[in-house]
Amino acid sequence: MARKIYREIKKCIRCQRVKEVRIPGLCRSCVDYNRIDKLRKRAPLIECQCGCGTLIWSITCDRRPARFAYGHSLKLIQKKGSKCISWKGGRRIGSLGYVLIYMPEHPHANRHHYVLEHRIVMEKHLGRYLKKTEVVDHINRNRSDNRLENLRLFESNKEHMKAHWGDMRNA
């Protein structure tokens, strides 16, 4: 059976407003503030974990341990590259099947700092960066086979398409 709480319309001893007051003489909102105040008297202040230096209570009002100030989060301090906790070596396969390599200093890296591996292999072979108009083609059409023997370079996408149409006619 639920515990019966006796309530009266009186003046709250904390906020001095006339409200429905519970037994200790506090209205509902002041009871919550009183509970939080008691919790926080025992809880020390800690520094926000995002590194901003803001001091926060170590316990939230629902008695959970606090880590960040309001509006702060771990996203503010997320590390990139090999310092990230989910680092897998800087090599991944993109949605189209091409192998991508993490190279933040490369001039043709995408916005996530990845470069297509077959372009890197061709650049190392030529000893220079490729132009944006140059196209590297996989001869056997396997996008993850980036051996130099399997790659050929075209000056433009026009030449690349001509070669592909020629291959399809001969097949």
pLDDT tens digits, residue range 115-155? 999 999 999 999 999 999 999 999 998 999 999 999 999 99
65 and 98, same domain (yes or no): no
Residue 61 pLDDT level (bands cut at 50, 70, 90): low
**The token pair that represents 22 in the structure block:** 């519970």
Q: Where are the alpha helices (DSSP H) in the chain?
A: 28-42, 117-126, 157-170
Query: In terms of domains, do 37 and 53 share one?
Result: no
In a domain, 83, yes or no: no
Among residues 78, 97, 132, which one ends one of the domains?
Answer: 78
| CA-based torsion, 51, 54, 56, 58: positive or negative | positive
Same domain, 19 and 49: no
Q: Are 59 and 65 in contact (CB under 8 A)?
A: yes
Residue 129: the pLDDT is 96
Q: Which domain holds residue 54?
A: 43-78
Q: Going by DSSP bridges, is the β-strand pair 114-116/99-102 parallel, antiparallel, or unpaired?
A: antiparallel
Stated pTM of the model? 0.53
**Same domain (yes/no): 31, 59:** no
The number of distinct structural domains making up the chain is: 3
pLDDT per residue over 146-163, tens digit each?
A: 999 999 999 999 999 998
Is residue 135 located within the same domain as residue 62? no
At residue 3, does pLDDT exceed 90? no
Please give the pLDDT value at position 33: 63
From the list 97, 117, 95, the residue with the least C-alpha distance to 106 is 117
pLDDT, tens digit, 9 for 90 and up, residues 76-101: 566 677 777 677 888 999 889 999 99
In the chain, the N- to C-terminal Cα span, in Å, equals: 83
Whether 50 and 64 share a structural domain: yes
